[in-house]
């Protein structure tokens, strides 16, 4: 699939299977000049490999909302890279109305002895 698209959006959770998944091997599969967006978990991307792919032009640009280390260190190369766009870990702003409705619904479920939604699945890691 990576070779069939010009924009890759990662919303992956961080698990043992996804840690470092987007690396030089996967970047090589992407179309030349592709764009990468990561709003999932920062450690899914291998930073060194992404910088190399950006420097070579394999990937034209990246929009990154999450990082392996947060906050992103002041000396991290992403800050000064002309092809990296950094957003402040706000890819999914909270809608007050829907958030309140979900909280109320979950309180009611707990009061009825039901499980709230969503629930962390320790086996899946998210």
Reading the chain (126 residues) residue by residue, the pLDDT tens digits are 999 999 999 999 999 999 999 999 999 999 999 999 999 999 999 999 999 999 999 999 999 999 999 999 999 999 999 999 999 887 767 788 888 999 999 999 999 999 998 888 878 777
Q: Which of 26, 83, 89, 112 is an active site residue?
A: 89
**Same-domain check for residues 50 and 65:** yes
Clarify whether residues 59 and 78 are in a common domain. yes
85 is catalytic: no
Buried b (16+ CB within 10 A) or exposed e, 12-26: bebeeebeebbbeeb
- Would you say how long the chain is, in residues? 126
* Tokens 């909270």 belong to residue: 94
Domains contained in the chain, number: 2
> Catalytic one among 26, 41, 76, 83?
41
Are 15 and 53 within one domain?
yes
Residues 43, 12, single domain; the answer is yes
The reply to whether 112 belongs to the active site is: no
Domain shared by 62 and 23, yes or no? yes
Q: Give which of 74, 78, 75, 87 is closest to 53, Cα–Cα.
A: 78
Q: How far apart (Å, rounded) are the C-alpha atoms in residues 40 and 73? A: 19
Q: What is the pTM of this model?
A: 0.81
Range of the domain at 82: 2-93
């Amino acid at each position: 699939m990576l070779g069939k698209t010009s924009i890759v959006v990662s919303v992956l959770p961080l698990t043992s299977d996804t840690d470092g998944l987007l690396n030089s091997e996967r970047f090589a599969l992407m179309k030349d000049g592709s764009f990468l967006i990561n709003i999932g978990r920062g450690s899914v991307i291998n930073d060194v490999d992404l910088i190399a792919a950006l420097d070579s032009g394999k990937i034209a640009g990246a929009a990154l909302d999450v990082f392996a280390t947060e906050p992103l260190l002041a000396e991290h190369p992403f800050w000064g890279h002309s092809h990296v766009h950094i957003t402040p870990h706000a890819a999914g702003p909270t809608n007050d109305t829907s958030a309140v409705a979900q909280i109320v619904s979950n309180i009611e479920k707990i009061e009825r002895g039901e499980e709230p939604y969503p629930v962390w699945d320790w086996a899946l890691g998210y």
